[in-house]
Amino acid sequence: MKKPAILSLCAVVALNATALMEKATPESQGVSSSAIIGWINACERELDALHGFVIVRHGRVIAEGSWAPYDTLNRPHMLYSHSKSFTSTAIGFLVDDGKLDLDARVLSFFPDKAPPTPSANLSAMRVRDLLTMNVGASYTDAERKDINGDWVKAFLANDIEKEPGTVFKYDSCATHMLAAIVERVSGMKLMDFLKARLFDPLGMTSPWSTVSPTGIACGGWGMNMTTRDLARFGQLYLDNGMWDGKRIISREWVVAATSRQTWSGAIAVTGEDGSDWHQGYGFQFWRCRHNAFRADGASGQYTIVMPDQDAVVSIHAGLRDMQHEINVVWNHLLPAFGPKPLPEDAAAQKALADRCASLKLPLQTGSAAASDLPCADPIISKNPLGFTRATLEKAERGWSLVRPDGVRIAVGDGSWAVTPFKFSDSNVEPLFALIGTQDVAASGAWTAPGIFTVRWYLLSGPQNGTFTVAVPVGTKMVAHAGAGDLTMPPASRPAYSNAVATACNIVKLDLQYTKDKQIVMGHDPTLKRVMGWPVTIADLTYAEICDKGRFLEHGKPGNERIVRLDEALAIVKSAPEFWLDFKHFAPDMAEKVLEEIDKAGIDHGRLMVATFTKPALEYFQRKHPEIRRVGHIGVTSNTNGTWSCYAEPKKQFATKKAVLDAVLRYRDKLGLFGVNMPVIQRQTQPEDIAYLQKNGLWVSLWFVQNEEKAKAYGGANPNAFVTDHVTKARSGLKVR
């Protein structure tokens, strides 16, 4: 029978009141050090990137760590919506003081900002409705509507469609209203109020917050704290408002704030497959499975409080799948919290200490030869750091990227280089904006000939990414599936051998699944053309294709087999770079392709996903952002004088520039490194290529079985040509 968590904790505090938040061995608190190592391993294996964590059991810190280049244990980190739980706590203090009634009408605090004729629903809105995200508006979006920079006035100007208190709709601007109420009622700035009532009593020294244009704390986002401070906050709530034997906030408030006040999803599933977003919502706290509750913020900022286990887990991160992040806690840490102390395990404790001390995120790696530097006008892929044009220079311990305005960022070679990077002079933070001066850590490597890849992390938040710097090395040649004079299947052995023999820069792999999940090099239309009978690869097993297929070589029957991916890689693995073109995309297929590529020893920096298939580009953007993405995009003129492109197929554009701007929007949406433009008519001119390149796109032109057209485009200066006739193309094109 489990002992009530509050009694267990009180017993610990009674024995040694000064022990709260001091360090203890995991085993002394009933947790195996090996189990914590298992959780860390699972996090690194299954999640994008954790930045730091603190695990507390019975009020003692049993493990903590941070992944370099981050130091979230000592350095404040963005909280995003985790801020909401602190703003709620400020409301709780005012309720405890008798200065605020949760049923007070919101308009009563802001008579000077109310619309001339408030609706009945707006007039009925209570503080309680703000706390429970039941304001009745579909989405207030106040910080973007921004009436003269007054987010409170913008919120109150919204159409409140439904009766407040009846429908849950998550809304960060509702929490900004709570922050504004705290500041009006207390007469203090939110963070000053919390410093006196919460931060100082708990020994929290790191908190700070951004503000609205009118100087009110954002409230629903904008706070920054260390992971250690988050753990202290979680411990306060685990102890029902007590801290080191002193009452900080009432037990009644803690219970109300962390209980289900409203449903947050249509169906609450508590089992293994349930969502931790469908367990209900309190006063700016989420309910979880396993009778837990949490404060949470975008990209994986968590303080998870587990009363039944008398435990707190605080995490800073930069990831996409937040449910998976919680699942890893449930799967690995939750079962590890035992009912009584375990025998001390010195070896496991040392292994855990060593593991926590050596946590680090992967540096950018690459093995390609470096290009000559400096390079004054490389093509730089889109990035939030504002590097569209820059000079790439060699530095003492790596490289520097220097913009024309003199702004530079250091890039480490086999290490992280940290640069204080100025985004703006503002402390006003519209949601998800990058403001002020922030430290950026970066490392770089030459991942392919002429391709320098930069991996960067914002050390105060979850923002991170990679971008490429393409240094001109001469126009590259892409060996298309039927390279050479052979009219063989798209990936026949002779074709691949020819690609290697002619020293093509990039080899294109047409990837398709057979019925029995074999990955083969094929393209249905081409196969139908060269096989003499209708065939769809996905409808046949690999054995059936090999048995029935009779390919043609110069019009004569032959028996060259269709090539599997592993066979193709064995032939061409020495090529500098590869295009992956998924003809019929499936996520399991993508992972199987990468597994074969890894077996062949091909670094992901040598890969590009280059395809018409939008789901493939989206999948790699989410799951494998380190792999460059190239979208096949045709630009064509219509008989009515308009223009069209694959990027937005349902639209017609009045000018060619408009359609090229649509290509750039498509680039932004999918984070594309470049575009491959199939040339049907002579519609893509050199100035069009230059326009796309100037805006950070690597551009290739695709000429299918058309030597004369390829020659005509010799002066277009794209970054690459794609052609079936590699040998003829090399002699006919004006290659830089």
CA distance 216 to 181: 10
In a domain, 629, yes or no: no
Torsion angle of C-alpha atoms 13, 15, 16, 20, degrees rounded to 10: -30
pLDDT at 735 > cutoff 50: no
pLDDT band at 527; cut points 50, 70, 90: low
What domain range includes position 62? Answer: 5-75+226-357
State the total domains in the chain: 3
CA distance 572 to 575: 6
Q: In what order do the strands lie in the sheet with 208-209?
A: 77-78, 223-225, 208-209
Spell out the residues 6+ positions from residue 655 whose beta carbon is closer than 8 angstroms to its own.
643
Spell out the residues 6+ positions from residue 247 whose beta carbon is closer than 8 angstroms to its own.
241
Average pLDDT score over the chain: 87
Q: How far apart are the first and last CA of the chain?
A: 77
* Percent share of the chain, pLDDT over 90: 65
- How would you label 24-57 residue by residue, b for 16+ Cβ within 10 Å and e otherwise? bbbbbbbbbbbbbbebbebbeeebbbbbbbbbbb
- The total number of residues written for the chain in this structure: 736
CA distance 639 to 683: 13
Residue 177 is part of a domain; what is its CATH number?
A: 3.40.710.10
DSSP β-ladder status, 301-306 and 311-317: antiparallel
The predicted-structure confidence for 181-192, as pLDDT tens digits, reads as follows 999 999 999 999
* Percent share of the chain, pLDDT over 70: 86
Question: Model-level pTM?
Answer: 0.85
In a domain, 497, yes or no: no
Domain identity same for 339 and 384: no
pLDDT at 374: 93
Residue 556: CB atoms within 10 Å: 7
378 contacts 372 by C-beta, under 8 angstroms: no
pLDDT at 163 > cutoff 60: yes
Q: What share of the chain is helix, strand, coil (3-state, %, to 5)?
A: 35, 25, 45
Domain identity same for 240 and 340: yes
Domain identity same for 344 and 244: yes
In a domain, 568, yes or no: no
Domain identity same for 41 and 63: yes
In a domain, 160, yes or no: yes
Domain identity same for 266 and 150: no
Residue with tokens 């977003």: 277
Task: Tell which of 157, 184, 209 closes a domain.
Answer: 209
pLDDT at 707: 62
Domain identity same for 70 and 87: no
pLDDT at 538 > cutoff 90: no
The residue ranking higher by pLDDT, 713 or 556, is 713
Q: What is the DSSP string of 153-215?
A: HHHHTS---S-TTS-----HHHHHHHHHHHHHHHSS-HHHHHIIIIIHHHT----EE-B-TTS
The predicted-structure confidence for 395-452, as pLDDT tens digits, reads as follows 999 999 999 999 999 999 999 999 999 888 887 887 777 888 999 999 999 999 899 9
Q: Where are the beta strands (DSSP E) in 459-543?
A: 464-470, 476-479, 506-513, 519-521
Domain identity same for 92 and 65: no
DSSP state of 107: G
Q: Where are the beta strands (DSSP E) in 605-669?
A: 607-611, 628-632, 635-637, 643-645
In a domain, 692, yes or no: no
CA distance 401 to 411: 8
Task: Tell which of 460, 492, 525 closes a domain.
Answer: 460
Residue 392: CB atoms within 10 Å: 23
Task: Tell which of 209, 241, 259 closes a domain.
Answer: 209
Domain identity same for 270 and 159: no
The residue ranking higher by pLDDT, 620 or 147, is 620
